[in-house]
Each structure stands twice: as C-alpha cells, then as structure tokens.
C-alpha cells in the first residue's frame, strides 16, 4: 500500500526546471492539446455506442497512436483480427470487473501474440485505451513510467524512495500506479510542476518530460558527440513517448 508522503515534490520541481531549460511552457501546452485530441479520437471510436462499429482504419489508428504498439500495429491487428480487437477492447473498457483485472486480461492477450510483440506492450496499449477513452476514470501505465523488471521509469524518479509500485501482477501494479498517479495529479498544479490548464493531460506531459530529461541526460553522458547529434530534442521525445508525434490520418479527420 502507498502510505505517508508519496510525491518527492522538490525532485519533481527540479525535473520541471530542467525540462523548461530545453522546452517552453507553451510547447508543453501544445503537447497537452495533442493529448486532448487523442482522447477525443479514442472516445469517439471506443464509446459504448460506437465500439461495435469500429472499422479497420480506426483500429489501426488507435494502435498507431500509441508509442509501444505503433510499429507492431499490423502484427497485432492481423493476429487478433478486427473482430477480435473489438471484443478485446470492449472487454477492457466495459467488462464487469475491476480495472486492473480487465487490464491484466487484455495484457495477457496482447503479449500472448508472441515474440514479435515485446512483453509489456499489452499493458502499455491497454492503459492508453483506458486512459484516453475515459481520462477522468483511468490512468496510464507505460513501461517508460514504470518497468517492474528493472525498477526504472518516470514514476520512481519523482516518488519517495519507500513507495513500492510493484504489486506482483498487472492488476495490482496498475492499482498502485493509479494511487500514485492521483497523488501526482492532485499535487502537481499547486506545486508548479504540472502543465496548467489541461487536467490529467498536464500530468501525462509532466511524466513524459521527466523521463525525457532522464533519457536526455543519460544518453548525452554515455554517447559520443557524433551520436549526440541524432538524439531527438526534448519536446520531440515527449511527443514520441505520448504517441502524438505523428497523428494517424484517420484521427485528423475524426
């Protein structure tokens, strides 16, 4: 359980300061706006009244709108078939089970496709579908936020050291991440480290910025000057992590 002080506020504020050395508040707000559009697309195709009419282009758009599934979109949709993807997403969003249990079943289905789909893609994709279909009810859990196998990600960088996110199962870990996410969302704007005016999307941008700063710093320390020239700028890294660096054509007209 998460008890006591959860957020390491000074560290979170320092990550924001470092991010703002490389990207403007205006640019971070623009990225949050892209997440608003992403949520509108997910909500339109995955609503209770629209999921059964999901078309192939829309399904492909949702897969390409997610960082971890973009390059595996054809494999996932071919393996599940369009009808199978519809059923999987319907169960993820609307089955009469706790959110973590729904995510666990969806994750097992996606990760069970085989070695062409890396382990962890299932909960990445599933949490994105949950979060961007209903942002106020569900939260993100991507591997760049928290990777249990290595204990790394954006969340442990801004949480108190004693906070344990690893619940041993997808369902329990998702629940714990949700508690931490709510704390972060509630504290973030007041403490000045969340993009203002965008609600939970500001928290998403903050977490992606934390990981981008971490990546940026680590890569620039370890890589040669030649390789450093090809490292994307921080704003581009944030957009890539959040899946909004290239908006699928179907989403642009939705």
Please, which residues have CB within 8 angstroms of residue 77's CB and are 6 or more apart in sequence? 56, 59, 60, 63, 85
Check whether 123 has a pLDDT greater than 70: yes
* Position 2 in a domain: no
**Is residue 215 packed enough to be buried (19+ CB in 10 Å), middle (13-18) or exposed (0-12)?**
middle
- Any bridge partners for residue 7, and if so which? 159
What is the Cα–Cα distance from 96 to 170, expressed in whole angstroms? 17
| Residue 3's pLDDT band (cuts 50, 70, 90) | very low
* Position 169 in a domain: yes
Check whether 108 has a pLDDT greater than 90: yes
From the list 247, 228, 244, the residue with the least C-alpha distance to 236 is 244
What is the Cα–Cα distance from 79 to 208, expressed in whole angstroms? 30
Q: How far, CA to CA in Å, does 6 sit from each of 2, 179, 193?
A: 7, 9, 15
Helix (H, G, I), strand (E, B) or coil at 193: coil
Please, which residues have CB within 8 angstroms of residue 3's CB and are 6 or more apart in sequence? none
Q: What is residue 87's predicted lDDT score, i.e. its pLDDT?
A: 97
Of the spans 138-152, 186-200, 211-225, 231-245, which averages the highest pLDDT? Answer: 138-152
pLDDT per position as a tens digit, 126-142:
999 999 999 999 999 99
Q: What is the pTM of this model?
A: 0.92
Check whether 4 has a pLDDT greater than 60: no
pLDDT per position as a tens digit, 186-218:
888 777 777 777 899 999 999 999 999 998 887
- Mean residue pLDDT across the chain: 90
**Is residue 49 packed enough to be buried (19+ CB in 10 Å), middle (13-18) or exposed (0-12)?**
exposed
Report the domain count for the chain: 1
Token pair for residue 36? 């608003």
* Position 156 in a domain: yes
* Position 3 in a domain: no
Range of the domain at 161: 9-252
């Amino acid at each position: 359980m998460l008890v006591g002080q959860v957020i390491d506020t000074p560290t979170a504020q320092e990550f924001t300061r470092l991010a703002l050395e490389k990207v403007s508040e205006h640019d971070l707000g623009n990225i949050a706006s892209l997440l608003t559009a992403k949520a509108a697309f997910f909500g339109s195709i995955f609503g209770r009244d629209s999921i059964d009419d999901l078309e192939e282009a829309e399904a492909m758009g949702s897969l390409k709108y997610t960082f971890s599934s973009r390059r595996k979109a054809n494999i996932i949709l071919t393996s599940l078939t369009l009808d199978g993807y519809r059923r999987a997403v319907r169960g993820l969003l609307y089955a009469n089970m706790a959110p973590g249990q729904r995510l666990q079943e969806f994750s097992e289905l996606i990760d069970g496709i085989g070695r062409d789909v890396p382990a962890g893609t299932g909960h990445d994709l599933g949490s994105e579908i949950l979060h961007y279909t209903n942002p106020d009810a569900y939260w993100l859990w991507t591997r760049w936020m928290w990777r249990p196998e290595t204990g790394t990600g954006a969340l442990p960088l801004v949480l108190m050291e004693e906070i344990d996110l690893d619940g041993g199962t997808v369902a329990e870990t998702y629940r714990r991440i949700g508690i931490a996410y709510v704390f972060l969302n509630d504290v973030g704007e007041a403490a000045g480290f969340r993009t203002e005016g965008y609600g939970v999307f500001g928290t998403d941008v903050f977490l992606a910025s934390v990981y981008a700063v971490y990546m940026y710093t680590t890569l620039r320390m370890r890589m040669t000057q030649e390789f450093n020239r090809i490292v994307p700028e921080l704003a581009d890294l944030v957009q890539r992590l959040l899946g909004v660096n290239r908006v699928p054509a179907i989403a642009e007209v939705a």
